[in-house]
Amino acid sequence: MKLPSHIDEQALSARLDRFEIETPSWGYADTGTRFGKYLQDAAANTLDEKLADAAEVHRYTGCCPAVAVHVLWDFPEGLSPQSTAAKAAKLGVRIGAINPNVFQDQCYKFGSVTNRDPAIRRRAVQHMLDSVRIGQAVGSNALSLWFADGTNYPGQGHIRQRKHWMTEALREVHAAMPAGMTMLVEYKPFEPAFYHTDIADWGMACAFARHAGPRAKVLVDTGHHLSGCNIEHIVAFLVDEDMLGGFHFNDRKYADDDLTMGSIDPYQLFRIFFEIVAAERETGADLNIAYMVDQSHNLKPKIEAMIQTVMTAQEHMAKAMLVDFGSLQAARDHDDIVRAESVLRDVYSTDVRPFLAEYRRARKLPADPLAAFRESGYAERVGKERAACKPGSSSGYA
């Protein structure tokens, strides 16, 4: 494919080589909605199987060497973090962000680090401190924090007091992190709490991260915004404040729908990457951002959905890199809004898939990872092996 003349193809390919996308262990397991769970034969039952599936995604795409883990779901009592890290390495992947879980246990019904009961707050902090240690043991450099804390009714909680408890907890955990670890603070405006959420938006996450310490940054989950929100503006703003630590990628139509990245609004995804690429051009260096997927597919086959996601991410990053920043600046200098917008729209309309196919071939990767994975028969094979271990199966553990 012939690229526009202002594009340095080598630089574009080199940037894509450095564009790693972390996939989530929970994206390979059976999950459901609060209305029920439909099991898939091929979905992973154990952490080993999740790692094996993540390794498949990496094998076909070449850009997903890290797997995010959820401490309670992936590290039950007795599972050694070191041996898990060794297993991952054997499969050609590594453990990425560590996600503590302070939202599932019964004691967290009225909150974790913002619970009025000091014993429950301590338990939540202790779990995060344990997660830091797991992270150290597996060589992870990110502690990714999301809290379900909030209230459902006006008057239920003392909002400012809860803010102080959240700050104290984050400070203590930050102080326990080793030098190379980043704390990622995720926000969400609703769910499971529906009146107020203790970290409701990027501004609150940014304030909490600043209070926590210098290695705390904001995590933008693209599904965690109210309708109409300009996510790329948030991204640009946080980048400029040096406070954007990472993404949880997914797409949404109504709420936190966990849909495949770019399936609903691919132009929004392009606009997000455009802001990143623009900032990288101006600073002359890659931004230090953890690109992570947070999708848990109930209907699509999980590995296919993940490969589709990764290909979509590469496409939109590549498109953003095709922007003619010289023409864009010239248009801006003349307040030529029509031209400025066209610079983006023209690039967005460019089909970069032939370029990406060549790019992959040159790296001995399949030109079409999704087709290659389908042809491999992996899903059918593991489906047969794993189905027997599903709840409800006659030979399963249910």
Q: List residues binding ligand PSV (CB under 6 A).
A: 26, 99, 146, 186, 188, 221, 248, 256, 294, 296
Q: Which residue is nearest to ligand PSV (CB)?
A: 146
Q: Which is nearer to Mn ion, 56 or 294 (CB)?
A: 294
- Given Mn ion, ligand PSV, none, residue 26, with its beta carbon under 5 to 8 Å by kind, binds ligand PSV
- Tokens at residue 235, please? 């991204």
- Exactly one of 149, 294, 304, 315 binds Mn ion (CB under 5 A); that residue is 294
Residues 6+ apart with CB under 8 A from 277: 317, 320, 321, 323
Q: Which is nearer to Mn ion, 62 or 189 (CB)?
A: 189
H helix runs in the chain, sequence order:
9-17, 47-61, 71-74, 81-91, 118-138, 159-176, 202-212, 231-240, 266-283, 302-321, 325-333, 337-348, 353-362, 369-376, 378-387
- Tokens at residue 253, please? 């139509």
Q: Which is nearer to ligand PSV, 4 or 32 (CB)?
A: 32
Q: Which is nearer to ligand PSV, 247 or 359 (CB)?
A: 247
Residues 6+ apart with CB under 8 A from 14: none
We find the least distance from the C-beta atom of residue 55 to ligand PSV, in angstroms, to be: 21
Q: How big is the site for Mn ion, counted in residues (CB under 5 A)?
A: 3
**Using the rule CB under 5 A, is 248 a contact of Mn ion?**
yes
- Given Mn ion, ligand PSV, none, residue 315, with its beta carbon under 5 to 8 Å by kind, binds none
Q: What part of residues 216-235 is at the interface with Mn ion (CB under 5 A)?
A: 221
Q: Which is nearer to Mn ion, 149 or 221 (CB)?
A: 221
Count the Cβ atoms, other than its own, within 10 Å of residue 153: 10
Q: Which is nearer to ligand PSV, 56 or 294 (CB)?
A: 294
Q: For residue 287, give the DSSP letter.
A: -
Taking a C-beta distance cutoff of 8 angstroms, is the pair 67, 94 a contact?
yes
**Using the rule CB under 5 A, is 304 a contact of Mn ion?**
no
We find the least distance from the C-beta atom of residue 142 to Mn ion, in angstroms, to be: 13
We find the least distance from the C-beta atom of residue 373 to Mn ion, in angstroms, to be: 25
Q: What's the per-residue H, E or C state across 205-258?
A: HHHHHHHHCCCEEEEEECCCCCCCCCHHHHHHHHHHCCCEEEEEECECCCCCCC
- The residue ranges that bind Mn ion (CB under 5 A) are 221, 248, 294
